[in-house]
Structure 1
């Protein structure tokens, strides 16, 4: 487990460096907006984003994206991978969903929590974070901003683990989810309640040769849900060629890049409704 865990950290740090370099270069060339990864708690200058502080049993920053039409809209919650808290607003998933092109097709609110390592590593802390995120989404609903029947969750790696756990905690509230190379082997409890989510539209995505979290993790969860009678669970695996084509490193632990390169995933996700 320790080998797997620290291997993921090393792989993710390399991936973070490449993502930061690419995103900063594009921002400079296009005159866009890029937030420094070293200052995640500063006010976000990008249009539509603001950074807030969640206070409670555990405290954390989160980035809230508000669409131009801010009433009765879908809400997307995005969990980043381990070690990505400093760039939680600039991950591939967040930048894709909040892009002008995507918002023109699928306008939505988006919450991207910045998850510190100590929160990710302790189940009790993760549970407290999920509870606070539920409070935040409930407030957006009560304010008339979010449609309670169109709440979606996505996550990559440790964020995939968080996706499954969040679904298990609030299974009746989620309309659909995409779970990418989930670190389900980190917590044995993460797959103990899969029966709770068998009726949630759920799409697993994983590189065939992911050398941090083996593809068998997603295959096992998928097979378990199918055996439970799930009729709306899917699994896509990506070849080395597909991963490299979308800009992933040779560790192949960045299935979020492949998913965001294929619009059919988001198209499917937003078609689901409670």
Structure 2
């Protein structure tokens, strides 16, 4: 069932704050360890870390994807929220994904489709890891990472138990059209948000419309988006929640692109509760 009601945002914020307090006062965080876990795509390293809770296997797993030009540090705190509740988490740097990454590759060779290949390789490996429940693997993405998670969920709907999208960059196709009015003459490189991208970035962004892929994924999707986001206007998520077969939208009042402080904690708690509900449903 599709939901996009502003009251839902208020309800989730209240529940989030209550949930955070309950977690801190009545539930001891689960002990965990962090392991280096790398993969390869065409001989290039995808560098990442597994957050493993001290619990019996097989366990649920969330794969977290960072945004454009960033690195896994931007989703590290979200991974900690999950693992402290007994849910394993994997964070990584996309190949050529941004500055200060430990993965290989150049940003001028990166696109939404190359990053989708990275995420699919990660999913392929981790779903065969006996420590994890292959029926309880979730995708989590922020900004461009949310776009990538949406693409992969649509391509692999039976392998994704649910998805959480923070201010997903569904604006990517429209932005590419504005940057490159003549698709036959796309520059070899150009600047985007202070980073240098290659021709492939715009070519791949123009090659499909992410909204046409959303109906392929009927699993539950949670979108969390700030009402003051000028990078990816809220309207893109408002449209998405009407296109996904089974999506909810939480509007974070006054939040911009990227969550910090209490807004980040509220989003993290809402994400954990969303994932835990799906796990509970699957365990019945």
TM-score bracket for this pair, using the shorter chain length? 0.5 to 0.7
**1:261 is matched with which residue?**
266
Which of 78, 91, 97 aligns to 1:112? It is 91
**2:67 is matched with which residue?**
81
Higher relative contact order (Cα pairs below 8 Å, separated by 6+ residues): 2
Task: Kindly state the Cα deviation for residue 237 of structure 1 after the two structures are TM-superposed.
Answer: 0.9
**2:185 is matched with which residue?**
none
Q: 8 Å contact 2:146–2:167 — kept in the other structure? A: yes
CA distance 1:73–1:183, change in 2 (3 Å): same
Task: Kindly state the Cα deviation for residue 86 of structure 1 after the two structures are TM-superposed.
Answer: 5.8
Q: 8 Å contact 1:155–1:161 — kept in the other structure? A: yes
Matched, 1:195 2:201: no
**2:276 is matched with which residue?**
270
Q: 8 Å contact 1:181–1:255 — kept in the other structure? A: no
Matched, 1:166 2:186: no
Matches within 5 A, 1:88-237: 91-98=76-83, 103=84, 106-115=85-94, 116-117=97-98, 118=107, 121-140=110-129, 143=130, 145-186=131-172, 187=205, 188-197=208-217, 199-225=218-244, 230=245, 232-237=246-251
Contiguous gaps of at least 5 residues in structure 1: 1-45, 244-251
The alignment's C-alpha RMSD in Å is 2.4
Q: Secondary structure at the match of 2:219?
A: coil
Q: 8 Å contact 1:53–1:62 — kept in the other structure? A: yes
Task: Kindly state the Cα deviation for residue 210 of structure 1 after the two structures are TM-superposed.
Answer: 0.3
Q: Secondary structure at the match of 1:261?
A: helix
**In 1, distance between residues paired with 2:275 and 2:109?**
25
Q: Secondary structure at the match of 1:184?
A: coil
Q: 8 Å contact 1:180–1:256 — kept in the other structure? A: no
**1:65 is matched with which residue?**
51
Q: Secondary structure at the match of 2:128?
A: helix
CA distance 1:174–1:204, change in 2 (3 Å): same
Task: Kindly state the Cα deviation for residue 272 of structure 1 after the two structures are TM-superposed.
Answer: 0.9
Q: 8 Å contact 1:160–1:183 — kept in the other structure? A: yes
TM-superposition CA deviations, 1:31-77 (whole Å, max 9, x none): xxxxxxxxxxxxxxx96112232112243101111111241100111
Pick the structure with greater CA Rg. Answer: 2
Task: Kindly state the Cα deviation for residue 189 of structure 1 after the two structures are TM-superposed.
Answer: 3.3
**In 1, distance between residues paired with 2:233 and 2:140?**
19
Task: Kindly state the Cα deviation for residue 190 of structure 1 after the two structures are TM-superposed.
Answer: 2.5
Number of positions where the alignment pairs a residue of Structure 1 with one of Structure 2:
203
**In 1, distance between residues paired with 2:110 and 2:235?**
22
> Following TM superposition, where does structure 1 have runs of at least 4 consecutive aligned residues deviating by more than 3 angstroms?
none
